[in-house]
Amino acid sequence: MSVKENAKNVDTWLRGLFIVIFGVIFYVLYFVIWVLVVFQFLTKVVTGNLNDNLGQLSESLTSYAFQRLLYITFQSEERPFPFSPWPKGDKTALPEPEEEKNEDSGSE
């Protein structure tokens, strides 16, 4: 296909529009996630425990943000919510965290 034909492709322009919209929404999500991070940290400092509801919300929002990033970077053709179901916050879609190293396991 020539550049002229590519420029007339409606699907390409529609994807460009979605990239802009989803990109803006991603930055809003980024801000909301940081608010949750700060609140979760303060909860841990004050109570010594994490808030389970905030943890679930954070997991869901980070999965949603990841879904958006996959779409806008052309790693996925599936449009994120509201064009597909809300992600369940499945940790399997995210990289596995490294196991914490036990400081007591060192030689004494």
Instruction: Determine the pLDDT at residue 108.
Output: 44
Tell me the C-alpha distance between 29 and 69, whole Å. 11
Tell me the C-alpha distance between 54 and 41, whole Å. 11
Q: What is the mean pLDDT of residues 85-99?
A: 62
pTM of the predicted structure, to 2 decimals = 0.70
Lowest mean pLDDT among 8-12, 35-39, 63-67: 8-12
Q: Does the pLDDT at position 105 exceed 80? A: no
Token pair for 107: 């030689």
Q: What is the mean pLDDT of residues 17-43?
A: 93
Q: Does the pLDDT at position 99 exceed 60? A: no
